[in-house]
Amino acid sequence: MKKLFVCFSALVLTACSAIPEKLQLAADTPLTNYQDALAVSYSDSVAQARWGGVIAKVDNLKDSTRIEVVHFELSPSTRPKQKDETLGRFRIYYPGLLDPMIYKKGKSITVVGNIAAPESGTIGEHPYQYPVVKADALHLWKDIQQADVMLVQNPFWHTPSYWHHYRPYGHNPVVIRRSSSNGKKSSSAGNKSQKKTR
């Protein structure tokens, strides 16, 4: 049983650290950190970024979609790690229409693309300078389902006729599953096919 648990844990860790195919880059690809974005030269548009965060706003423009994102550092899987603090916000420009009912406020997103010139804007009435990424690929993350496990004392454990049962110590696990308020599917921009779930 212990070996089985170790193997299962290894599989879970491997799955959690897998980078979505659209976000994968060569190991030697130079990437610009969010902190350094405002200092980058944009003359040749070769500075690349792989950033992520939580969507704050989506605007459908005439020929593109602009997504305002609250920046968070990425995990090894490139999923944003949501915290109570952020370094700031940035804007993504995607060349095409993205449905704002899918790419909506509160969703976690990761982008790969080239850094463009920063833009001036506001957050409320506060002036703000936005770093900008021209998207080559986007990945919208599904919710992480959480489970609370409690051990509950079995009331029949002290009955001799129950001792032959396999559960030790008279405790039964009770699993309560929870998920956040975001959607349950992950998607990558550019995919034309969709799978239906039952």
The domain made up of 18-142 is a member of CATH 3.40.50.150: no
Q: How far apart are CA 130 and CA 123, in angstroms?
A: 10
3-state secondary structure 148-186: EEEEEECCCCCCHHHCCCCCHHHEEEEEEEECCCCCCCC
Q: Can you give the pLDDT at residue 167?
A: 52
Task: Give CA–CA dist 110/16, Å, rounded.
Answer: 15
The set of residues, in sequence order, having a beta carbon less than 8 Å from that of 137 and lying 6+ positions away, is 22, 23, 111, 112, 113, 188, 189, 190
Query: CA nearest 92: which of 46, 144, 54, 42?
Result: 54
Q: Give the number of other CB atoms < 10 A from CB of residue 193.
A: 4
CA-wise closest residue to 183 among 122, 100, 72:
100
Distance of CA 143 to CAs 49, 81, 88, 191, 196, Å? 24, 12, 23, 19, 17
Domain ranges in the chain?
Answer: 18-142, 146-178
Tens digits of pLDDT across the chain (198 residues): 444 444 444 444 444 469 999 999 999 999 999 998 887 777 655 799 999 999 999 999 999 999 999 999 999 999 999 999 999 999 999 999 999 999 999 999 999 999 999 999 999 999 999 999 999 999 999 977 666 666 666 565 556 655 555 555 555 555 555 555 444 446 667 543 344 444
137, 113 in Cβ contact below 8 A? yes
CA dist., res. 68 & res. 75, Å (int) = 20
Query: Using CA atoms, how far apart are residues 30 and 183, in angstroms rounded to an integer?
Result: 33
- The candidate with the shortest Cα–Cα distance to 45, out of 110, 93, 8, is 93
pLDDT at 30: 93
Q: Do 91 and 133 touch, CB atoms closer than 8 A?
A: yes
CB 94 within 8 A of CB 113: no
Is-above-0.85 flag for pTM? no
d(Cα 79, Cα 75) in Å, to the nearest integer?
Answer: 5
Q: Determine the Cα–Cα distance for residues 168 and 140; give it in Å rounded to an integer.
A: 43
